[in-house]
A and B are shown apart, each in its own frame.
Chain A
Amino acid sequence: MTQQDAFPGMVKLLTADGQELATGWVDRVAGSLKGRISRNELDRELTELYTALVEALRDGVADAHADGMSEVRALLTELSRNRARQGFSPTETAISVFALKHVLEPVLQDGSDQDIRAYLRLGRLLDDLGLFTIETYSRTREEIISSQADQLLELSTPVIKLWDGVIAVPLVGTLDSARTQVVMEKLLQALVDTGSEQAIIDITGVPAVDTQVAQHLLKTIVAARLMGAECTVSGIRPQIAQTIVALGIEFGDIVTKASLADALRLALKKSGVEITRGGGVGR
């Protein structure tokens, strides 16, 4: 038996029961996904896949990576991407392909030698397609993770304008080199954009300060100074103050304040704004 003979066998195997086979396939996949994808959508996805697969086999292509399978691969890519985005597990994604093997098994019971050979060959093809699905799935997951990390970096460093000429950066979470770089760039750019001469870095949300974090902070402050702005560090909690002293970190002539309110008052004073208590209702 040559390879060429296998193709009609495979096509025959797939198309013999036609609609019934496709329905069985959809049933099996739907069962494993426990109704988290609508039956109609699944039906559409798998029917397209089925049609493309039969089409490719009719053209005599049985290699998962050949050009003739591009249609099948495109459909699988879309399927795996959707599954990854919707939070399905790898098994639940790959089952869409592997279920076809299960569905084909009963057909073999009274099948000829040729049928069995065709089944084995088809099985190998489906294995390859299944692996392809998993690969696309994990690639999509990685893309999602890296884009989320980027978004987190963007979100975690807002620069707030507190007053004319006073801006603040509330830092939340652990500071590492990458984040400090982003904070530094954003803060300095904001100084230029708003023409502010006072900047407050609030570290209330920073869980721990070590020598490295302090180093990063100092760099940011010196850079701001070079541009002609003054920086105040605020939100230093009692434990953090103790740690800083215990570590022997020198803040030099950098002004530090316990609370953001104190820092703002100082910044306003330095920029020549006077605050007075008005004769409000409370008095």
Chain B
Amino acid sequence: MSERVPVLRIGDVLLVSIQVDLDDQTVLNLQEDLAQQIVDQGARGVVIDITAVEIVDSFVGRMLATIAAISRMLDAETVVVGMRPAVAITLVELGLSLGGVRTALNLEKGLALLRRSGRSERT
């Protein structure tokens, strides 16, 4: 049984903080949990915190894009926060620009971003 990444709820935003090394099964579990939770909780936004992630490969890059696509299908916006410089450089070198995924420097700014875009949608 591989580890499950916890999905936390703050208001109408779901927070996923990735603190462990991701293997295939963990990622599949996370996608499943997240999709379920978005529907159950009626979440409007998803924040993926990757502050603790030090090494990425194309697999992790694709995972972020997939999660964003799934969330968008369920009408929730995804923000990836806390990417380290080394991780950003690696992703660029790998040719992954994560189109369609919004990013923010840290959790606080990510939440603010979601609040802003939520407000503009409603008005």
Residue of A nearest to B79 (CB): A228
Task: Tell me the residues in window 75-110 of chain B with beta carbons closer than 8 Å to chain A beta carbons.
Answer: 79-81, 83-85, 87-89, 91-93, 97-98, 102-106, 109-110
CB distance from A25 to the nearest CB of B (A): 58
Q: Which residues of B contact A227 (CB under 8 A)?
A: 83, 85, 88, 103, 105
Q: How far is it, in angstroms, between the C-alpha of A223 and the C-alpha of B84 when the chains are bound?
A: 10
Q: How far is it, in angstroms, between the C-alpha of A43 and the C-alpha of B105 when the chains are bound?
A: 64
Q: Could you tell me if A226 and B110 are in contact, using CB atoms closer than 8 angstroms?
A: no
Q: Could you tell me if B109 and A226 are in contact, using CB atoms closer than 8 angstroms?
A: no
- A16 in the interface (beta carbon within 8 A): no
Q: How far is it, in angstroms, between the C-alpha of A197 and the C-alpha of B102 when the chains are bound?
A: 13
Contact with B along A181-200 (1 / 0, CB 8 A): 00011001101100111000
- A225 in the interface (beta carbon within 8 A): yes
Q: How far is it, in angstroms, between the C-alpha of A191 and the C-alpha of B82 when the chains are bound?
A: 11
Task: Tell me the residues in window 44-89 of chain B with beta carbons closer than 8 Å to chain A beta carbons.
Answer: 79-81, 83-85, 87-89
Q: Could you tell me if B91 and A226 are in contact, using CB atoms closer than 8 angstroms?
A: yes
Q: Could you tell me if A229 and B91 are in contact, using CB atoms closer than 8 angstroms?
A: no
Known contacts A188-B89, A227-B88; A222 and B97 CB within 8 A of each other: yes
Q: How far is it, in angstroms, between the C-alpha of A120 and the C-alpha of B106 when the chains are bound?
A: 76
Interface residues on B, range: 20 to 34
Q: Could you tell me if A184 and B89 are in contact, using CB atoms closer than 8 angstroms?
A: yes
Q: Which residues of A contact B87 (CB under 8 A)?
A: 226
Interface of A is mostly: helix
Interface of B is mostly: mixed
Q: Could you tell me if B89 and A228 are in contact, using CB atoms closer than 8 angstroms?
A: no
Q: Which residues of A contact B93 (CB under 8 A)?
A: 219
CB distance from B19 to the nearest CB of A (A): 18
Q: Which residues of A contact B85 (CB under 8 A)?
A: 184-185, 188-189, 191-192, 223, 227
Q: Could you tell me if A223 and B89 are in contact, using CB atoms closer than 8 angstroms?
A: yes
Residue of A nearest to B98 (CB): A226
Q: Could you tell me if A223 and B91 are in contact, using CB atoms closer than 8 angstroms?
A: yes
Residue of A nearest to B84 (CB): A192
Q: List 11 A–B pairs whose Cβ atoms lie within 8 Å, in order of A's numbering.
A: A195-B105, A195-B106, A195-B109, A223-B89, A224-B88, A225-B103, A226-B83, A226-B97, A226-B103, A227-B103, A228-B83
For the complex of A and B, the 5 pairs showing the least CB-CB separation, nearest first, are A188-B85, A228-B103, A228-B104, A223-B88, A226-B88
B contacts, CB < 8 Å to A? 79-81, 83-85, 87-89, 91-93, 97-98, 102-106, 109-110
A contacts, CB < 8 Å to B? 184-185, 188-189, 191-192, 195-197, 219, 222-229
Extra contacts, 14 of them, besides A195-B106, A223-B89, A228-B83 (Cβ < 8 A), are: A184-B85, A188-B85, A191-B105, A192-B84, A192-B85, A192-B105, A219-B92, A223-B88, A223-B91, A223-B92, A226-B80, A227-B105, A228-B109, A229-B105
